[in-house]
Amino acid sequence: MSHISKIARSQTIHNDMNKKWAFFIAGTSAVVSLIYLSGYGYIFKAIGINLRKGPITPSIDDDDKFPFNPIPTKNPNDFEKAENYNSARISGRLIEELKKSRTSSLLVIRDNKLVYEQYWKDHNFTSAQNSFSMAKGILSMLVGCAIDDGRLTSEDQLVSTVIPKYRDSKFGKHLTFRHLMTMQSGLDWKEEYHHPFAPNSKQYFIGDLAEQALDIDLKEMPGEKYEYQSVSAQLLGLALKKAVGCDLADYLSRKIWQPLGMEFPAKWSTDDKGVEKAFCCIHATPRDFARIGQLILQNGNWEGRQIISRTYCQRMLFPTIENDAFCYSIWADDEYDVKHRFFYGFLGQFIIMIPEKNMVIVKTGLYNRLKVDKKLRPLQVRSLISEIAHII
């Protein structure tokens, strides 16, 4: 082949490569544009956040991935340790189960004293961890505080009194704060965690939570059907914020964090506009999560002061007719030998309250394959109670 022919062939190959790259870039641009136009632009935000700051999926250690509103404490107190602190021998079977389910902490409080705590995977008692959906139960506690403060008349107050868009809605004009807490809102939302185009994935990374939540229509009459929906909690957060007139993090600090003398300040993740992710994402230490459980175990009383009214706490823990495993965003199990209530968060976060034992168990972790019963309660909760309640 002559030198001229080689040059011509090289130029042809070069032109072909340029065409292929042009087609690739054009195709990629088209796909990116389509994703943005379809409302899924948050996926690129999610990729960017996770490539910079750790795991590519939601994690208990997400406190530095997102903007947040602070939850300050005041006059922090350590949990008093029992005389038999950490003397209990947890069985090898339970330890193996905890390791398999990627547990990061296990704490046990009995008679308001710390009797056991253990940490895994570089966590310790100072490690703030993501509540995930345990925040929904904490949000219900704040509704009780707002009722006590006169900011709400009751949990049966219409949401339309603070969010006017629902006044003229066929179903929305019947929507109450109770409906949102009990997951009986009738919103047109399918709870889905397993792919990046799911509404829940969008909710976790989106820059404007209010826009997303308020854009969801109601498909049926509220109060007639139980359907677990994280958007109900987000809408509850937006309505509660309107009612109390301040950020949820500030209200949580003033009504619970400071009065309980939480050991550490906490964070509540927000969207780009400073609106809290009301459906999840309070980052606190396991010891301070334990205080939340202890407060509920004591019917809202803390050191002689009624933080949340006793009657509201009792209503908050009473299962609904539509689902006897669910209360005001707190789960119930009265079928087990040891009756209990628990806060439940994605990836295996629990605050378990056992009244007859005057015990609180906190477990955090990072495992998305926990087995559940027919009412979608994680079986690990019973396993923890079975093992711990009889040896501590």
pLDDT digits (tens, 9 = 90+) for 46-102: 545 444 455 556 788 887 889 999 999 999 999 999 999 999 888 999 999 999 999
Q: Does 11 share its domain with 137?
A: no
Number of domains in the chain: 2
Domain co-membership, 119 together with 233? yes
Instruction: Write out the H or E segment, with its range, that includes residue 45.
Output: helix 42-53
Q: Are residues 64 and 34 in the same domain?
A: no
- Please state the pTM of the whole predicted model: 0.85
Beta sheet of 282-284, edge-to-edge order? 68-71, 266-269, 282-284, 129-130
pLDDT digits (tens, 9 = 90+) for 139-160: 999 999 999 999 999 999 999 9
Q: Does one domain contain both 20 and 84?
A: no
Structural domain range at position 129: 60-388
* Distances from the Cα of 148 to the Cα of 129, 142, 180, 224, angstroms: 29, 10, 19, 27
> 126 and 29, same structural domain?
no
The pLDDT value given to residue 162: 98
In a domain, 48, yes or no: no
Task: Identify the segments of the chain with pLDDT beneath 70.
Answer: 1-57, 195
Residue 117 CA from chain centroid, whole number: 22
Is the torsion defined by CA of 3, 5, 10, 15 positive or negative? positive
As a whole number, the mean pLDDT across the chain is 88
Is the domain of 141 the same as that of 25? no
Residues 30 and 134 placed together within one structural domain of the fold? no
Residues 13 and 112 placed together within one structural domain of the fold: no
Q: Is 275 inside a domain boundary?
A: yes
Q: Looking at residue 268, which CATH number applies to its domain?
A: 3.40.710.10
